[in-house]
Amino acid sequence: MKKCIFRTVVIIATFLSTQFIANAQKLLPVTQHGKLSVEGGKIVDSSGSIVQLRGISLSWSIWGGRKYYNAKVVKWLKKDFDINVIRIAMAVEPDSGYLKDPVKQEELVTKVIDEAIKQGIYVLLDWHDHHADQHVSESKVFFKKMAKKYAGVPNMIYEIWNEPARVSWAVIKSYALEIIPEIRNSDPDALIIVGSSNWDQDVDITAKDPITGYSNIAYSFHFYASDPGHQEKLMAKADDAIAMGLPIFVTEWGVGEANGDGIFDTEKTDKWLNWLERNKLSWANWNLTDKKETTALLLPGAGINGSWPLKMLSKSGLYIRKQLRTLNK
């Protein structure tokens, strides 16, 4: 009888333990939402429900931001900031960027990608280049390699051109149609984010002539909440695009001004954040660095391995951390 009772207790304990682990796993963003796709002008999860990702963009993968491209930082951002997406801003043109040192850049971004996958969050892999139309062959090589390496991994999102500068939508679209097949050949269902003209602001122009022939394509929209030129007029452009059915992912936005510095107007920032929530748009905030500027989330000298005390977060960092911990709970 005692053996029977003991066996029953063990079975129940094992079942409860299994259920606890299963429930814990469900809390992981990728486990909860699965593969992302585009339906009806919205980004949806594997069940067809609109999904809203909220997270942080790392800074350029060179200069001072490079030191935060490590597993401990990713783990801390997931644990303490409660991010469900991380953006990797892989530098392309500047010295030490991909054009000059592709091997080290690939090694750097791969470390972040692998840890993000381990943490169960989404990865926005950004070709951080203002002149991607001038580097088509290099971009093809990079995205072909990454798509092959991570084929079928639901965490992966590909942002193929960051903030096109002074080029038309026709040029951007032509570039996208060169790069998309390189990803699709290995990962036919991956979510791909395409840029828009005027530093990812003219989404209303894009909406009139979107890419056809490929599924699961969304478009990036950028703004800087306190910038005098990024207020009602810019918001209206995005509203028009949304009304036309354009699926939008705000792959970069900051609390300051367009140069990354300037004022931090909390009233304007709250207005933009409320707009993001009202439209259920996914976003990544710029940026994780300890540079002395308004949009930097860390204060100068912040450690390179995460575990930052609140006193090492900037005003921007404290604001974004609070929003993420509230909205992603």
Q: Is 285 helix (H, G, I), strand (E, B) or coil?
A: strand
CA angle 120, 125, 126 (to 5 degrees): 150
Q: Which of 115, 159, 182, 252 is catalytic?
A: 252
Question: In whole angstroms, what is the distance from residue 319 CA to residue 187 CA?
Answer: 37
Q: Which of 163, 178, 232, 257 is catalytic?
A: 163
- Nearest alpha-carbon partner for 269 in 285, 282, 251: 285
Decide if 252 is catalytic: yes
Q: Is 44 helix (H, G, I), strand (E, B) or coil?
A: strand
CA angle 94, 218, 36 (to 5 degrees): 105
Tokens representing residue 154 in the block: 């639901």
Question: In whole angstroms, what is the distance from residue 52 CA to residue 108 CA?
Answer: 27
**With contact defined as beta carbons under 8 Å apart, do 312 and 296 qualify?**
no
Tokens representing residue 51 in the block: 């999904």
- Nearest alpha-carbon partner for 161 in 285, 251, 284: 251
Decide if 277 is catalytic: no
Tokens representing residue 39 in the block: 């339906």
Q: Is 126 helix (H, G, I), strand (E, B) or coil?
A: strand
Beta 37-39 vs 42-44: how paired, if at all? antiparallel
Beta 54-58 vs 85-91: how paired, if at all? parallel
Tokens representing residue 86 in the block: 């991380």
**With contact defined as beta carbons under 8 Å apart, do 65 and 298 qualify?**
no
Residues noted as catalytic: 163, 252
